[in-house]
Amino acid sequence: QKEVEQNSGPLSVPEGAIASLNCTYSDRGSQSFFWYRQYSGKSPELIMFIYSNGDKEDGRFTAQLNKASQYVSLLIRDSQPSDSATYLCALSYNTDKLIFGTGTRLQVFP
Amino acid sequence: EPEVTQTPSHQVTQMGQEVILRCVPISNHLYFYWYRQILGQKVEFLVSFYNNEISEKSEIFDDQFSVERPDGSNFTLKIRSTKLEDSAMYFCASSDFRASYNEQFFGPGTRLTVL
**A10 upstream amide cis, omega within 30 of 0:** yes
> Which pLDDT belongs to residue A27?
82
> Which pLDDT belongs to residue A2?
66
Task: Identify the three-state secondary structure at position B86.
Answer: helix
Query: Tell me: the pLDDT tens digits for A85-97?
Result: 999 999 987 667 8
> Which pLDDT belongs to residue B100?
58
**B106/A43 Cβ within 8 A:** yes
> Which pLDDT belongs to residue B98?
61
Q: How far is B109 from chain A (nearest CA, A)?
A: 6
Task: Please report, in angstroms and rounded to a whole number, the separation of the first and last CA atoms in chain B.
Answer: 37
Read off the pLDDT of each residue in A47-74 and give the average, rounded to a whole number.
95
**DSSP H or E run through B88:** strand B88-95
> Which pLDDT belongs to residue A1?
61
Spans of chain B below 70 pLDDT: 97-101
Query: Tell me: the pLDDT tens digits for A3-58?
Result: 899 998 899 999 999 999 999 998 877 788 999 999 999 999 999 999 999 999 99
Contact residues, A window 35-94, toward B, CB-based 8 Å cutoff:
36, 42-46, 49, 51, 88, 90, 92
